[in-house]
Amino acid sequence: MARADIEWTDDFLIGIAELDHEHRSLVADINRLHRALRDHDGREKIQQTLGSILSRMQAHFALEESVMKEHAYPHYREHKAEHEALLDTVTGFIVRFEAEPGGGFSKALEETLDEWIVSHILTSDRKMSLMLKG
């Protein structure tokens, strides 16, 4: 059974406009993946969506890391390590999915992305924004 869309709510707002904007786009991208898998879209379209999620994540992390650095955020290393671990996980799933589209990896990938985006925003980024805004 495919996963339901993530519903965007104001609870996701962390109060740093540029990051809020990107979080919204990431949620929209992840929902696009859910829809593509639900609708059994072709492999090419799913791969395009995955590629767009991955590049948006990379750009988002780079921006977040520069914001943290700029403010000498004390948990920078920890937060950056979280970003790197997640990129590794998602890249690994994408590689496996591309090698074997019917291999059941898409479900694990969807679950990982859903759990990640929610906890990334509500936990790590919220903590960061509270400290940065002091």
- Summarize as ranges the residues that interact with Fe ion (CB under 5 A): 125
* Closer Cβ to Fe ion, 110 or 125, answer by number: 125
Minimum gap (Å) between residue 64 Cβ and Fe ion: 5
Minimum gap (Å) between residue 107 Cβ and Fe ion: 24
* Closer Cβ to Fe ion, 34 or 120, answer by number: 120
* Closer Cβ to Fe ion, 3 or 80, answer by number: 80
Distance, CA of 109 to CA of 89 (rounded, Å): 9
Minimum gap (Å) between residue 22 Cβ and Fe ion: 7
Q: Which residue is nearest to Fe ion (CB)?
A: 125
Contacts by 9-18 with C-beta closer than 8 Å and gap 24+?
A: 11/122, 12/121, 12/122, 14/121, 14/125, 14/126, 14/128, 14/129, 15/129, 15/133, 16/67, 16/129, 16/132, 16/133, 18/63
* Closer Cβ to Fe ion, 29 or 125, answer by number: 125
